[in-house]
Each structure stands twice: as C-alpha cells, then as structure tokens.
Amino acid sequence: MKRTRRVLQVAAVGASALGLLAGCGSGSTATGNANLTPTATAETVSTVETAAPAPEPDACDALLASLNTREKLAQMITVGVTGTDDATAIMSSEKIGGIFISGGTANELLQGGVERVNAASAIAPLVSIDEEGGRVARIPNLIGRTPSAREVAATMTVEQARQEALERAAKLRAMGVTVDFAPDVDVSAQPDDAVIGDRSYSDDPAVVTEYATAFADGMRESGVFPVIKHFPGHGSSSGDSHMGAATVPPLEQLQDKDLVPFRAMVGTGVGVMVGHLDVPGLTEPGVPASVSPAAMQLLRDGVGYGAAPFTGVIFTDDLSGMAAITDRFTLPQAVVAALSAGADVALWGSTDRVSEVLDALETAVASGQLPIEQVDASVARILNLKSVANC
C-alpha cells in the first residue's frame, strides 16, 4: 500500500504515561498529513441544519492503514546503535520503532545526534537507555552518578528518591532520551554483586513497590517513560540470564513476593520488560518468559496474579546478548517467538541483522504465526506511547 505523506512527530513527552513523544521540543502532537486530524463528532455539529459530512477515518486507523506490513513490524523493533550515522541509516532504510543507547555510543548521540536521528525518521523513534543507577549507569559522565537502588532505599526517603529520579530524568530528556528501562522492581536478598543484588531496592515487596513507584513518578514528571522489570520477577533466580538459563521459584511462590510490585504498578502508566526466566507452573520447558505466550497472557490479562489488565507496551529483555536466549534460539527465531507470544517491542543490541529479522517477521505474518491483527494492536500501543495520531 502506498504510504501517505510521512508523519513527522513533534518531539515532546507529557507527564501522562501515554503522552510520550520521541525527540526534542515542546508538548504538542503533530502529523505531516491533514487527513490524520480527528474530525468533529456528531454531537458537535448537531445544530447545523444541513446533513453532516461522513466522518473521516479515525486518525490512528488512518495511520495504520498507511503503513505496509514491513513498516508496521519495524515499529515493533528497538535496537542498539553504534552512533548517529548507524542510527540514521537504519531509520532511513527500515524505519524501525526505536533505538537503544549504550555507554559506548552515548556521548555522540546525546549531544546533538538524536536530533539528526529524528530528522531521518518517518515516525520519530523511541530513544531508550538502561539507566537504573548504581552499577547500571550508562552515562555517569553526562548526568553524574547515583547510588544503587538498595542504597537509595537504605539512605533516602521515598520523596528524596522521587526528587532524584525527577532531576536525572530532566537531564536525560534534555538530551533526547524518552524511555528508561528502569526501575528494577525485582524483590531480592541476593548479595550486592549478584545478577540482581543491589539493583533491587529490598527483599520486602512493599519497600520495592514504594521506592520503585517514586522512581517511576519522577521519571514521568520529567518526560521520560519508565519501564519496570523483569516480569515476573528475577530476584530469586537460580542463575544469571546473561550467562545461561535462569529459573525462578514456581508461579505460586511468586504471588506474595516477586509479583507484588508488578501487581501494584502495571496500572500506573509504565511499560513492562519481560525477563528471560524459566518459571515452573507458567512457562514450558526451554521457553523462557520473554518468548512465552503464557507469560505474556499472565501480564496482559492480569487474572493469574490478581492484577488489572495491562494495556501498555510490553518490551523484551535483550534478545541478542543473553545466553538464556542465545543458547536456545537464533536472533530471528527469538524475535518471531517473542512478538508472536505477545510482546510489543523486541529489543536487541545491533542494527546489522534488522533486515533479516524483518524478513522472518514478514514470513511469520504471511503464515499466520503472527496475526496481522495482533501486529496492528501492538503498533497502536507503540504509537500511543509516542503520542502519534491519537492511537
């Protein structure tokens, strides 16, 4: 299908969790096509005696209809980039939905490069980073250092934690970052240097919930979208998913501990990252949560752990650099499995296999493995996150 005039997004993020725009600037939403502007409802023109014109298509539906299948699938991809040139090239060639900034690429991209990336994009991308604080701090040279989550909970009040997150998010937002894969809401008593360890606020789920909510609130207030992780809970894992398979306690044992922060926070305007976790009683053998339909359904419906349905964006953990996935799947297999299972955004570390992955995803759509209706629903959630076309 022929594309309509490309959509240029005004880059701003509102305080609302669904008011996120990728890019830099003020807080309005714009498109490059007047046909994407919502029309008046029947009630607003009821006093006009002549017959009202037929309503134009819904703005979100019109935008979705203007995208071909490959362009829709590309919106469901976020990848790491080596710098501004790499990011602009992949945005121009494949129109992907998001980029991930690591410590090695941050200086160039966050000091003017994001503006170039947005200018090269038909729909401005999510610009994401993994900035928890403590040992997961990608750009301390640009925004300073902050204590680990465990130290924050031990030394700061909840309000102080919120204020610090607000200030750090303001710095991130000023440089063009729109998504932070934080806070970590895992409940853990592991030693500080373990896979979760001091990345967890506490081994008390109530403390984790309180401080993680404060962090997320501060992020949103400064215009950065928070993504809580690692569903359904990595804090008591038997292994490190970076190094190999990681098994957590059975689902029934997660209910009163690991799942508590997710239960409390999924309705507060956050995204959720699903971990590469084997969960007895939930996932099938060899199928970690990040590629498990059962895990995605648990999160989306909420029924199996007493939560509200989750209507936001589901992200995978890194699909290319963690052995819990790479020991079991090729990258195209992992991405197809994750998105078919119900994730909205597949995350991995580089641009060099984007076209190969999109080819595999197109095949999955053609075969019915990944229904186009499911793709449309995911893309609408992603565009909603970006505040594009009132999706």
Q: What is the mean pLDDT of residues 139-151?
A: 94
More confident residue, 141 or 315: 315
**What is the model's pLDDT at position 241?**
87
205 and 258 in contact (C-beta within 8 Å)?
Answer: yes
**Superfamily of structural domain 70-385:** Glycoside hydrolase, family 3, N-terminal domain (3.20.20.300)
Q: How far is 322 from 82, CA to CA, in rounded Å?
A: 19
pLDDT at 17 over 70: no
Terminal-to-terminal C-alpha distance of the chain: 20
145: nearest Cα among 153, 157, 133: 133
Q: What is the 3-state secondary structure (H, E, C) of 297-352?
A: HHHHHCHHHCCCCCCCCEEECCCCCCHHHHCCCCHHHHHHHHHHHCCCEEEECCCC
pLDDT at 69 over 80: yes
pLDDT at 15 over 90: no
**What is the model's pLDDT at position 56?**
56
Residue-wise pLDDT tens digits, 348-362: 999 999 999 999 999
pLDDT at 203 over 60: yes
Place of tokens 């995208």: 67
Whether 317 is catalytic:
yes
Q: How far is 23 from 256, CA to CA, in rounded Å?
A: 39
Q: What is the mean pLDDT of residues 31-58?
A: 39
pLDDT band at 57 (very low <50, low <70, confident <90, very high): low
Catalytic residue among 317, 318, 327, 344: 317
Whether 198 is catalytic:
no
Catalytic residue among 61, 242, 359, 376: 242
Q: How far is 7 from 388, CA to CA, in rounded Å?
A: 9
One-letter amino acid of 55: P
Sequence-distant (6+) residues with CB within 8 A of 166 are 217, 218, 219, 221, 222
**What is the model's pLDDT at position 103?**
77
pLDDT at 36 over 90: no
DSSP secondary-structure letter at 290? Answer: G
Q: What is the DSSP string of 187-222?
A: -----TTSSSGGGSS-SSHHHHHHHHHHHHHHHHHT
Q: How far is 297 from 159, CA to CA, in rounded Å?
A: 34
> What tokens were used for 326?
């790479």
Residue-wise pLDDT tens digits, 280-292: 999 999 999 999 9
Q: How far is 100 from 106, CA to CA, in rounded Å?
A: 10
212: nearest Cα among 243, 248, 188, 192: 188
* Three-state DSSP state, 75: helix
Domain extent listing, the chain: 70-385
pLDDT at 84 over 60: yes
Mean residue pLDDT across the chain: 87
Question: Alpha helix (H) ranges present in the chain?
Answer: 59-66, 69-75, 84-94, 103-108, 114-119, 140-143, 149-155, 158-174, 205-221, 251-254, 260-265, 293-301, 323-326, 331-341, 354-367, 372-385
Residue-wise pLDDT tens digits, 107-127: 889 989 999 999 989 899 999
Q: How far is 12 from 26, CA to CA, in rounded Å?
A: 5
100 and 319 in contact (C-beta within 8 Å)?
Answer: no
CA geometry: angle at 304 spanning 20 and 365, to 5°? 60
Strand-pairing partners, residue 229, are: 184
pLDDT band at 242 (very low <50, low <70, confident <90, very high): confident
